[in-house]
Amino acid sequence: MRGLLLFGLLLPLLNAAVQGSILPACCQVLIYLMLAQGLNLVVGYAGLLHLGYAAFFAVGAFSMAYLTSPQSPFHLQWSFYLALPVSVAFTLLVGALLAWPTLRLRGDYLAIVTMGFGLMLDPLMRNYDDATKAITGMAAIATPFAGINAMIWYYLLLAGVLVCVGLAYRVRHSSLGRALRALREDSVAAEACGISLARTKLQVLTLGAAVAGLAGALYASYIGTLNLAFPFDFNGSIMVLAMVILGGVGSIRGALVGGLALGVLNLICIPKLIDVVQVHVQPGLARALSDSPALWAKIEPWLDLSKAQFLMFGLTLVIMMLLRPEGIIPEQPVSYE
């Protein structure tokens, strides 16, 4: 893990050395890493299948935009430093409110309710675009300071990831973490040990929402212009869930590695591959097949790999889950030695 952290710290320098342009994509990966840690609390620690996590990410991001953007319907234009804690607190509150009616639900039913919330928020905000600016979007969202660049953002978001990892670590070693594991293993026995199932679930769902709120608020400030698109919809929820499961459910390092693997794959590798095919493979093939235009006409439309982005993503997931179904770094029991 130290190696990973060192690499994370040195990455912008490496990027500058080779005059690369991957920092913006890396910043997005860092956002995903925060989300993966937050969802791992709910899905991994507590064993509660949550299918609407991206909706809380959206709540955090839109709170930030509403509070700070000059185009916000509320015209508040708060500073970043005031809007950040308020956005997190508001998302936490939404998380608690949504958790309340689900406390008595188990397994699949909780998954259905959270999925319902995730699916509902998106069209609701779109349909009320006049009020929500979900499609129109909001620009000039406040940043920590004027003239902030990608490298500073990178380090800020890296710090955010460290905060989330630290939180996950402390929860794992607290009595809440123990209560969550107990609840996941055997809820009847957990109750017989004096653990309140409702209270414990409420705590972890609220906490998970707060982490998503933090990630969302930082994301909104980072990208500057916000409208309701990919990472906020159901696909976004599944993406984060895939990171947690791929990395190893319940494992902090697993969520980091899973988030890194899928984030890098989705935001860096696949776009690069699409580029390479378009720039190099396509013209070469076109020259080679210049004698038989009929064949070329058949092949050409398939060379636009951006249309197959989700296919590549899904295939990678399937292959990795076949090779290592328990995840890349499975959860280890807490050692008290």
**Footprint of other proteins (CB under 8 A):** 167, 170-171, 174-176, 178-179, 181-182, 185-186, 188-197, 203, 333-337
Q: Which is nearer to other proteins, 133 or 181 (CB)?
A: 181
Percentages helix, strand, coil for the chain (3-state, rounded to 5) are: 75, 0, 25
Least Å from the CB of residue 31 to other proteins: 23
Q: Which is nearer to other proteins, 50 or 181 (CB)?
A: 181
Q: Which is nearer to other proteins, 55 or 183 (CB)?
A: 183
End-to-end CA distance of the chain: 21
Q: Which is nearer to other proteins, 101 or 333 (CB)?
A: 333
Least Å from the CB of residue 183 to other proteins: 10
Residue 138 φ/ψ, nearest 5 degrees: -130, 135
- In terms of Cβ atoms closer than 10 Å to its own Cβ (0-12, 13-18, 19+), residue 335 is exposed
The alpha carbon of residue 267 and the mean position of all alpha carbons in its chain are separated, in whole angstroms, by 12
Q: Which is nearer to other proteins, 139 or 189 (CB)?
A: 189
Least Å from the CB of residue 167 to other proteins: 7
CB 133 within 8 A of CB 6: no
* Close Cβ partners of 130 (under 8 Å, ≥ 6 residues apart): none
Q: Which is nearer to other proteins, 95 or 263 (CB)?
A: 95
CA dist., res. 28 & res. 262, Å (int): 12
Least Å from the CB of residue 188 to other proteins: 6
Least Å from the CB of residue 171 to other proteins: 7
CB 197 within 8 A of CB 179: no
Least Å from the CB of residue 11 to other proteins: 29
CB 222 within 8 A of CB 157: yes
Burial letters for 158-172: b for 16+ Cβ neighbours within 10 Å, e otherwise?
A: bebbeebbebbeebb
Least Å from the CB of residue 246 to other proteins: 21
Q: Which is nearer to other proteins, 291 or 337 (CB)?
A: 337
Q: Which is nearer to other proteins, 44 or 236 (CB)?
A: 44
User: Shortest CA distance to 326 belongs to which of 224, 223, 246, 229?
Assistant: 246
Residue 145's identity, in one-letter code, is F
CA dist., res. 51 & res. 256, Å (int): 19
CB 88 within 8 A of CB 81: no
Least Å from the CB of residue 178 to other proteins: 5
Q: Which is nearer to other proteins, 136 or 174 (CB)?
A: 174
Least Å from the CB of residue 173 to other proteins: 8
In sign, the C-alpha dihedral spanning 330, 159, 150, 152 is negative
* Chain position carrying tokens 């935001």: 267
